[in-house]
Structure 1
Amino acid sequence: MDPLCGGTRAARLTAQGKLAAAWTYNPLGILATFAAAAAALRLTVGLIARRWLNLQIHWNPRMRWAALALVVFALTLLEIRQQGRADLLTKPY
Protein backbone atom coordinates (compact mmCIF):
# COMPACT_ATOMS: atom_id res chain seq x y z
CA MET A 1 0.00 0.00 0.00
CA ASP A 2 1.23 3.43 -0.79
CA PRO A 3 0.14 6.56 1.12
CA LEU A 4 -2.26 7.58 -1.67
CA CYS A 5 -4.17 4.29 -1.71
CA GLY A 6 -7.85 4.87 -0.97
CA GLY A 7 -7.60 8.54 -1.89
CA THR A 8 -10.18 8.37 -4.65
CA ARG A 9 -12.71 6.65 -2.42
CA ALA A 10 -11.99 9.16 0.34
CA ALA A 11 -12.45 12.10 -2.04
CA ARG A 12 -15.75 10.68 -3.27
CA LEU A 13 -17.01 10.13 0.26
CA THR A 14 -15.87 13.63 1.28
CA ALA A 15 -17.83 15.14 -1.62
CA GLN A 16 -20.87 13.20 -0.37
CA GLY A 17 -20.36 14.62 3.13
CA LYS A 18 -19.37 11.29 4.71
CA LEU A 19 -16.21 12.48 6.44
CA ALA A 20 -15.95 9.62 8.93
CA ALA A 21 -16.07 7.04 6.15
CA ALA A 22 -13.61 9.09 4.09
CA TRP A 23 -11.21 9.19 7.05
CA THR A 24 -11.37 5.39 7.18
CA TYR A 25 -10.01 5.10 3.64
CA ASN A 26 -7.46 7.93 3.55
CA PRO A 27 -7.30 11.22 5.48
CA LEU A 28 -5.29 12.75 2.64
CA GLY A 29 -8.36 12.43 0.38
CA ILE A 30 -10.27 14.79 2.66
CA LEU A 31 -7.47 17.35 2.49
CA ALA A 32 -7.21 17.03 -1.30
CA THR A 33 -10.97 17.52 -1.73
CA PHE A 34 -11.02 20.65 0.41
CA ALA A 35 -7.94 22.01 -1.40
CA ALA A 36 -9.61 21.45 -4.77
CA ALA A 37 -12.78 23.19 -3.54
CA ALA A 38 -10.70 26.15 -2.28
CA ALA A 39 -8.91 26.39 -5.63
CA ALA A 40 -12.24 26.33 -7.49
CA LEU A 41 -13.60 29.03 -5.17
CA ARG A 42 -10.47 31.15 -5.72
CA LEU A 43 -10.86 30.77 -9.48
CA THR A 44 -14.54 31.72 -9.39
CA VAL A 45 -13.96 34.79 -7.20
CA GLY A 46 -10.98 35.83 -9.33
CA LEU A 47 -12.89 35.60 -12.59
CA ILE A 48 -15.95 37.42 -11.26
CA ALA A 49 -14.25 40.15 -9.20
CA ARG A 50 -11.10 40.39 -11.35
CA ARG A 51 -9.10 40.32 -8.13
CA TRP A 52 -7.10 37.33 -7.01
CA LEU A 53 -6.68 36.08 -3.48
CA ASN A 54 -2.99 35.42 -2.87
CA LEU A 55 -1.11 33.93 0.03
CA GLN A 56 2.53 34.83 0.46
CA ILE A 57 4.77 32.97 2.86
CA HIS A 58 8.27 34.27 3.40
CA TRP A 59 10.40 31.17 3.93
CA ASN A 60 13.74 31.20 5.61
CA PRO A 61 16.00 28.11 5.44
CA ARG A 62 15.00 26.92 8.90
CA MET A 63 11.29 27.08 8.04
CA ARG A 64 11.90 25.14 4.81
CA TRP A 65 13.67 22.33 6.64
CA ALA A 66 11.00 22.25 9.34
CA ALA A 67 8.24 22.06 6.72
CA LEU A 68 10.08 19.33 4.83
CA ALA A 69 10.62 17.34 8.03
CA LEU A 70 6.93 17.71 8.93
CA VAL A 71 5.81 16.50 5.49
CA VAL A 72 8.16 13.51 5.58
CA PHE A 73 7.00 12.63 9.10
CA ALA A 74 3.31 12.94 8.16
CA LEU A 75 3.75 10.80 5.04
CA THR A 76 5.60 8.17 7.07
CA LEU A 77 2.75 8.03 9.59
CA LEU A 78 0.24 7.84 6.74
CA GLU A 79 2.19 4.98 5.14
CA ILE A 80 2.17 3.04 8.43
CA ARG A 81 -1.56 3.70 8.81
CA GLN A 82 -2.32 2.59 5.25
CA GLN A 83 -0.34 -0.63 5.73
CA GLY A 84 -2.52 -1.43 8.71
CA ARG A 85 -5.63 -0.97 6.58
CA ALA A 86 -4.50 -3.06 3.63
CA ASP A 87 -7.41 -5.49 4.00
CA LEU A 88 -9.94 -2.63 3.74
CA LEU A 89 -8.18 -0.94 0.83
CA THR A 90 -7.78 -4.05 -1.31
CA LYS A 91 -11.41 -5.20 -1.25
CA PRO A 92 -13.93 -3.85 -3.79
CA TYR A 93 -15.98 -0.86 -2.71
Structure 2
Amino acid sequence: MINILTDGGKELAQYPLDIYKKWVTRFFTFVIPFGCVNYLPLMFVLDRVEGSSVLLYMLSPLFGIVFIVPCVLLWNYGVRHYLSTGS
Protein backbone atom coordinates (compact mmCIF):
# COMPACT_ATOMS: atom_id res chain seq x y z
CA MET A 1 0.00 0.00 0.00
CA ILE A 2 2.80 2.42 0.89
CA ASN A 3 4.57 1.65 -2.38
CA ILE A 4 1.41 2.48 -4.31
CA LEU A 5 1.15 5.87 -2.61
CA THR A 6 4.83 6.78 -2.94
CA ASP A 7 5.93 5.44 -6.33
CA GLY A 8 2.42 5.58 -7.76
CA GLY A 9 2.05 9.15 -6.57
CA LYS A 10 5.37 10.07 -8.15
CA GLU A 11 4.22 8.59 -11.44
CA LEU A 12 0.82 10.24 -11.11
CA ALA A 13 2.41 13.65 -10.57
CA GLN A 14 4.13 13.46 -13.96
CA TYR A 15 0.83 13.84 -15.81
CA PRO A 16 -1.92 16.47 -15.63
CA LEU A 17 -4.59 15.65 -13.08
CA ASP A 18 -7.31 16.34 -15.64
CA ILE A 19 -6.69 13.01 -17.38
CA TYR A 20 -7.72 11.03 -14.30
CA LYS A 21 -11.21 10.39 -12.96
CA LYS A 22 -12.67 13.01 -10.64
CA TRP A 23 -12.26 10.93 -7.47
CA VAL A 24 -8.55 10.37 -8.22
CA THR A 25 -8.06 14.09 -8.77
CA ARG A 26 -9.79 14.93 -5.50
CA PHE A 27 -7.90 12.25 -3.57
CA PHE A 28 -4.51 13.49 -4.77
CA THR A 29 -5.49 17.10 -4.18
CA PHE A 30 -7.14 16.97 -0.76
CA VAL A 31 -6.05 13.71 0.93
CA ILE A 32 -2.51 13.26 -0.35
CA PRO A 33 -1.69 16.63 -1.93
CA PHE A 34 0.51 15.65 -4.88
CA GLY A 35 -1.51 17.96 -7.10
CA CYS A 36 -0.90 20.90 -4.77
CA VAL A 37 2.83 20.71 -5.30
CA ASN A 38 3.10 20.98 -9.06
CA TYR A 39 -0.13 20.82 -11.04
CA LEU A 40 -2.36 23.46 -9.43
CA PRO A 41 0.36 26.13 -9.10
CA LEU A 42 1.36 25.53 -12.74
CA MET A 43 -2.25 25.98 -13.85
CA PHE A 44 -2.29 29.31 -12.02
CA VAL A 45 0.96 30.45 -13.62
CA LEU A 46 -0.26 29.44 -17.09
CA ASP A 47 -3.54 31.30 -16.47
CA ARG A 48 -5.65 28.20 -17.03
CA VAL A 49 -7.69 28.64 -13.88
CA GLU A 50 -11.37 27.93 -14.31
CA GLY A 51 -14.14 29.56 -12.30
CA SER A 52 -13.77 31.45 -9.07
CA SER A 53 -11.21 29.12 -7.50
CA VAL A 54 -8.21 31.32 -8.31
CA LEU A 55 -7.33 31.54 -4.64
CA LEU A 56 -7.31 27.74 -4.35
CA TYR A 57 -4.85 27.44 -7.23
CA MET A 58 -2.66 30.25 -5.96
CA LEU A 59 -2.44 29.03 -2.37
CA SER A 60 -2.30 25.31 -3.09
CA PRO A 61 1.41 24.91 -2.15
CA LEU A 62 0.38 25.87 1.39
CA PHE A 63 -1.80 22.74 1.55
CA GLY A 64 1.31 20.67 0.94
CA ILE A 65 3.08 22.44 3.78
CA VAL A 66 0.11 21.86 6.09
CA PHE A 67 0.09 18.18 5.09
CA ILE A 68 3.75 17.74 6.05
CA VAL A 69 3.13 18.72 9.70
CA PRO A 70 1.15 15.57 10.67
CA CYS A 71 3.56 13.48 8.60
CA VAL A 72 6.56 14.77 10.55
CA LEU A 73 4.74 14.28 13.87
CA LEU A 74 3.87 10.70 12.93
CA TRP A 75 7.45 10.06 11.82
CA ASN A 76 8.87 11.40 15.08
CA TYR A 77 6.40 9.28 17.06
CA GLY A 78 7.52 6.21 15.17
CA VAL A 79 11.21 6.96 15.68
CA ARG A 80 10.72 7.49 19.43
CA HIS A 81 8.89 4.20 19.80
CA TYR A 82 11.12 2.12 17.53
CA LEU A 83 12.70 -0.90 19.19
CA SER A 84 15.60 -2.49 17.40
CA THR A 85 16.13 -6.25 17.38
CA GLY A 86 19.60 -5.68 18.78
CA SER A 87 21.35 -7.81 16.22
TM class by shorter-chain length? Answer: 0.3 to 0.5
Tell me: higher relative CO, structure 1 or 2? Use CA pairs within 8 A at least 6 residues apart: 1
Give the TM-score taking structure 2 as reference length: 0.33
> If each structure's helix is expressed as a fraction of its own residues, which one has the higher value?
1
